[in-house]
Amino acid sequence: MYCHVCGFPDSDKPGTVRYYPEKQQALCTYCAANTPAKVSYEEFVKRYFPGAHNDYERRNDPLFVPLSVRRDFYEDYKTSTYTLHEYMAHTRETMI
């Protein structure tokens, strides 16, 4: 097993990487201490992409966000050391 944030392998020091349900991922001791609890995928999509849809027939609509993009952003959020609020501020700031 590997830490989902830093990539530290449990084989280097057995017992240092474990699954944290509230953080929804396997983390090493260091990253567990520095990673806040994560919201569910549904809550993330609701707050990060408000009003978004994935109806391909309406793909020219500015609210069209493919499921693959939603999943990629959620995986990136989960492996960050940010709260949802911090993640939103950081990623939106870098897109401007």
How many other C-beta atoms can be found within 10 angstroms of the C-beta atom of residue 45?
Answer: 19
Domain range for 74: 36-96
Asked if residue 80 and residue 45 are part of one domain, the reply reads: yes
Domains of the chain: total: 2
pLDDT of residue 95: 59
Pair 52, 90 in one domain: yes
Phi, psi (rounded to 5 degrees) for 36: -75, 165
Which class for 80: exposed (0-12), middle (13-18), buried (19 or more C-beta within 10 A)?
middle
pTM of the predicted model, to two decimals?
0.80
46 and 22 part of one domain: no
| Claim to verify: residue 58 and residue 77 sit in the same structural domain | yes
51/82 same-domain check: yes
Place of tokens 């408000």: 50
Rank 34-38, 59-63, 84-88 by mean pLDDT and report only the highest: 84-88
Q: Are residues 54 and 70 in the same domain?
A: yes
Residues 72 and 96 in one domain: yes
Q: pLDDT over 70 for what percent of the chain?
A: 97
pLDDT of 2 higher than 80: yes
